[in-house]
Amino acid sequence: MTKTAVITGATSGFGLACARRFAADGWRLVLAARRADRLEAAKDELSKKTTVHVATLDVRDRAAVERTFASLPSPFDAPDLLVNNAGLALGINPAQTADVDDWDVMVDTNIKGLTYCTRAVLPGMVARNRGHVINMGSVAASWPYAGGNAYGATKAFVQQFSRNLRSDLLGTRVRVTNVEPGMAETEFSLVRFKGDEAKAAKVYAGADALTADDVADVVHWAATLPDRVNVNVVEVMPTCQAWGPFAVHRKT
């Protein structure tokens, strides 16, 4: 049976890499993202391998999310997999000087957008008694760092929301996985620094960071295990990344 994957934030980074990985297996794809031109480019590329439906969508718009999922045409209207990938970080300032507008965008996208998409797809999955929700979290959910304030908090929400979904779905065959990457070289830092390429490049300088394909492989692995297997959480970092000592501010 050909399966269908819905991927949000599907035009770059982890989302596009996941789309390519599942297309290689012949999964039908529903690709959702804000940038229509990039969606069409992804469709042109991936239609050579599988059937693709695209939806221009800002996950922050609850009504638009509901319309998009309610109007999926056959055979895309019974998703087997939702990859909640749409998300972002903005800024690296400490909380006392952070831009509250940036906080709003992160909360609206990483938390509210993810819950809107999940709520839209879950009833059908439960009715069919099959399906899988994979949420794109972050190591920032568990491990704080300076300037990670609201971003880390949004990913902590994703972590706990994923756990609670598992509790709510007990007794069904609907699975939930939270994938938590560490440092990965994508457009993530370019977005965080609002297009400042020099700042973004410094994040990865001298580091052998994860690639989008690495993370896509993890998502694909979790999604293609037997239905009896639920991978609750995968925390994955590049070998070059680890935890440091506790930070201590000392008087001088």
Residues 132, 83: contact at Cβ < 8 Å?
no
* Phi then psi dihedrals of residue 179, to 5 deg: -100, 125
Q: Which residue has the tokens 């599988």?
A: 50
The residues pairing with 132 across neighbouring beta strands, listed in sequence order, are 81, 175
- Give me the CATH topology for the region 4-236: Rossmann fold (3.40.50)
Q: Domain extents for the chain?
A: 4-236
Residue 42's pLDDT band (cuts 50, 70, 90) = very high
Mean pLDDT of 186-191: 92
Which of 6, 49, 54 has its CA nearest to residue 219?
Answer: 6
Buried b (16+ CB within 10 A) or exposed e, 153-167: bbbbbbbebbeebbe
Structural contact between residues 217 and 241, judged by C-beta atoms closer than 8 angstroms: no
How confident is the model over 156-170, as a mean pLDDT?
Answer: 98
Give the pLDDT mean for 151-180: 98
The answer, yes or no, to whether residue 1 has pLDDT greater than 90, is no
Cα separation, 203 vs 141, in Å, equals 19
Give the per-residue pLDDT at 252: 86
Residue range 195-228, pLDDT digits in tens: 999 999 999 999 999 999 999 999 999 999 999 9
Residue 249, CA distances (Å) to 147, 160, 242, 246 in order: 16, 31, 21, 10
* Catalytic residue IDs: 151
Q: 92-141, pLDDT tens digit by residue?
A: 999 999 999 999 999 999 999 999 999 999 999 999 999 999 999 999 99
The predicted model scores a pTM of: 0.96
- Are 19 and 46 in contact, with CB atoms under 8 Å apart? yes
* Average per-residue pLDDT for the chain: 97
Express as a percent the part of the chain with pLDDT over 70: 100
119: phi > 0 → left, psi -120 to 50 → alpha, else beta; which?
alpha
From its phi and psi, is residue 129 left (phi > 0), alpha (psi between -120 and 50) or beta?
A: left
